[in-house]
């Protein structure tokens, strides 16, 4: 997957997920809407201010005024592919815009 590089410092909205191996901080890279469902693309931090190239997709909803994340089930290959395609399209747009500058 292509890496987005910029000359200026990028600030991310972050969140902390409690995982089996402990709490981990993630940057919210992009919010996506696919077939009426909202998703977020998250990337874990690998240093104080650097995000990994790894991207994780989660369902994103607001319930009772609070944001909630949900996993895309393992058996939902079509859903995952649709979200990954939307992310790739967005990434292509960003890369094109950077080349045009």
- Looking at every residue in the chain, the average pLDDT score rounds to 86
Enclosing domain of residue 95? 13-100
The CA-atom distances, in angstroms, between 89 and each of 25, 61, 73, 92 are 25, 22, 22, 5
pLDDT band for position 69 (cuts 50, 70, 90): very high
Residue 78 pLDDT exceeds 70: yes
**Other beta carbons within 10 Å of 57:** 20
- 43 in any annotated domain: yes
- 48 in any annotated domain: yes
Q: Which of 26-35, 73-82, 92-101 has the lowest mean pLDDT?
A: 92-101
Residue 94 pLDDT exceeds 80: yes
Q: What is the pLDDT of residues 3-44, one digit of tens each?
A: 444 445 567 888 999 989 999 999 999 999 999 999 999 999
Residue 97 pLDDT exceeds 90: no
- 5 in any annotated domain: no
- 1 in any annotated domain: no
- 7 in any annotated domain: no
- 84 in any annotated domain: yes
- 18 in any annotated domain: yes
């Amino acid at each position: 997957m292509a890496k987005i590089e910029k000359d200026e410092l990028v600030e991310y909205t972050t969140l902390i997920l409690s995982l089996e191996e402990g709490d981990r901080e993630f940057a919210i890279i992009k919010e996506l809407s696919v077939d009426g469902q909202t998703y977020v693309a998250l990337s874990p931090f690998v240093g104080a201010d650097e995000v990994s190239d790894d991207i994780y997709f989660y369902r994103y909803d607001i319930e009772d005024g609070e944001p909630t994340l949900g996993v895309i089930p393992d058996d939902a290959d079509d859903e995952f592919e649709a979200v990954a395609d939307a992310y790739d399209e967005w990434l292509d747009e960003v890369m094109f815009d950077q080349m045009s500058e």
